[in-house]
Amino acid sequence: MKLANYIIILALGVASFSSAQTKENYISEVLVADQGDGTYKNPILHSDYSDPDVTRAGDDYYMTASSFNAAPGLPILHSKDMVNWELINYALPKQVPVEHFNTPQHGNGVWAPAIRYHNNEFYIYWGDPDFGIYMVKTDDPADEWEQPVLVMKAKGAIDPCPLWDEDGKAYLVHAWAGSRAGVKSLLTVHKMSPDGTKVLDEGRHVFDGHEAHETVEGSKFYKRNGYYYIFAPAGGVSTGWQLILRSKNIYGPYEEKVVLEQGSTKINGPHQGAWVETPKGEDWFYHFQDKDAYGRIVHLQPMSWKNDWPLMGKDHDNNGIGEPVFQHRKPNVGKLYSVVTPKETDEFTGDSLGIQWQWNANPSVLWHAKLPGNDYLRMFSIAQPKEAKNLWEVPNLLLQKFPALEFTASSKITLIPEDDEKQRKAGFIVMGRDYFTLTITEKDGEFYIQQTEAKNADKGAEEKVLNEEKLKSNTVYVKVEVSSPEATCQFMYSENGKRYKKIGKSFNARVGKWIGAKVGLFSTSLAGAKRGGYADIEYFRITK
Question: What is the 3 state secondary structure string of 286-301?
Answer: EEEEECHHHCEEEEEE
% of the chain with per-residue pLDDT over 70: 95
Structure confidence at residue 23 (pLDDT): 55
Other CB atoms within 10 A of residue 262 CB: 19
Task: For residues 257 and 235, give the distance between their C-alpha atoms in angstroms, rounded to a whole number.
Answer: 14
- Cα 517 to the chain's mean position, in Å? 11
Structure confidence at residue 409 (pLDDT): 98
Contact 136, 158 (CB under 8 A): no
Q: Cβ-count burial of 57 within 10 angstroms (0-12 exposed, 13-18 middle, 19+ buried)?
A: middle
Average pLDDT (230-259) is 98
Give strand ranges (E) for 130-282. 132-138, 149-153, 157-164, 170-176, 186-192, 204-208, 220-224, 227-234, 241-247, 255-260, 271-277
Give strand ranges (E) for 20-131. 39-41, 53-57, 60-64, 73-79, 85-92, 111-118, 121-128
Other CB atoms within 10 A of residue 120 CB: 7
Structure confidence at residue 1 (pLDDT): 38
- 12: helix, coil or strand? helix
H/E segment holding residue 411:
strand 407-416
Average pLDDT (467-480) is 98
Phi/psi for 457 (5° steps) reads -60, -35
Contact 107, 69 (CB under 8 A): yes
Comparing CA positions, the residue from 473, 425, 484, 475 lying closest to residue 451 is: 425
Comparing CA positions, the residue from 245, 248, 258, 236 lying closest to residue 311 is: 258
Render the burial of 441-475: b for 16+ CB within 10 Å, e for the rest. Answer: bbeeeebebbbbbbeebbeebebeeeeeeebeebb
Q: How many helices (H) and strands (E) does the chain have?
A: 2, 38
Average pLDDT (309-336) is 97
Contact 398, 522 (CB under 8 A): yes
SS3 content of the chain, % helix, strand, coil (to 5): 5, 45, 50
Other CB atoms within 10 A of residue 374 CB: 13
Task: For residues 256 and 250, give the distance between their C-alpha atoms in angstroms, rounded to a whole number.
Answer: 14
Task: For residues 191 and 165, give the distance between their C-alpha atoms in angstroms, rounded to a whole number.
Answer: 11
Q: pLDDT by residue (tens digit) across 201-216?
A: 999 999 999 999 999 9
> How, if at all, do strands 121-128 and 111-118 pair?
antiparallel
Average pLDDT (20-40) is 85
Is the pLDDT at 10 greater than 80, yes or no?
no
Average pLDDT (358-376) is 96
Q: Cβ-count burial of 190 within 10 angstroms (0-12 exposed, 13-18 middle, 19+ buried)?
A: buried
Structure confidence at residue 420 (pLDDT): 64
C-alpha torsion sign, points 311, 313, 314, 320: negative
Is the pLDDT at 15 greater than 60, yes or no?
no
Structure confidence at residue 30 (pLDDT): 98
Is the pLDDT at 428 greater than 60, yes or no?
yes
Average pLDDT (119-143) is 98
% of the chain with per-residue pLDDT over 90: 92
What is the DSSP secondary structure assignment for residue 336, as one 8-state letter?
-
Is the pLDDT at 33 greater than 80, yes or no?
yes
Name the average pLDDT for the chain.
Answer: 94
Task: For residues 530 and 516, give the distance between their C-alpha atoms in angstroms, rounded to a whole number.
Answer: 34
> How, if at all, do strands 382-383 and 518-525 pair?
parallel
Annotation marks residue 217 as catalytic: yes
Is the pLDDT at 92 greater than 70, yes or no?
yes
Q: pLDDT by residue (tens digit) across 482-541?
A: 999 999 999 999 999 999 999 999 999 999 999 999 999 999 999 888 889 999 999 999
Task: For residues 543 and 411, give the distance between their C-alpha atoms in angstroms, rounded to a whole number.
Answer: 11
Annotation marks residue 139 as catalytic: no
**Amino acid at residue number 300:** L
Q: Which residues does 129 contact at the CB level (< 8 Å), separation at least 6?
A: 108, 111, 155, 156, 157, 158, 177, 179, 180
Structure confidence at residue 5 (pLDDT): 40
Q: Which residues does 492 contact at the CB level (< 8 Å), separation at least 6?
A: 478, 479, 480, 481, 500, 501, 502, 503
The neighbouring-strand residues paired with 164 are: 170
Per-residue CA distances from 60 to 221, 338, 374 (Å): 21, 14, 35
pLDDT band at 12 (very low <50, low <70, confident <90, very high): very low
Structure confidence at residue 530 (pLDDT): 82
Phi/psi for 356 (5° steps) reads -75, -15
Average pLDDT (259-272) is 98
Average pLDDT (60-75) is 98
Structure confidence at residue 531 (pLDDT): 84
Is the pLDDT at 419 greater than 80, yes or no?
no
Q: pLDDT by residue (tens digit) across 385-414?
A: 999 999 999 999 999 999 999 999 999 999
Longest distance between any two alpha carbons in the chain, whole Å: 76
pLDDT band at 20 (very low <50, low <70, confident <90, very high): very low
Comparing CA positions, the residue from 4, 18, 27 lying closest to residue 340 is: 27
Half-sphere exposure of residue 278: CA atoms within 13 angstroms, side-chain side? 20
- Write down the catalytic residue from 217, 261, 393, 536: 217
The neighbouring-strand residues paired with 428 are: 438, 521
Structure confidence at residue 13 (pLDDT): 34
Structure confidence at residue 422 (pLDDT): 78
- Write down the catalytic residue from 48, 51, 481, 538: 51
284: left (phi over 0), alpha (psi -120 to 50) or beta: beta
- On the question of a cis peptide bond just before residue 372, with omega within 30 degrees of 0, the verdict is no
Structure confidence at residue 421 (pLDDT): 74
- 284: helix, coil or strand? strand
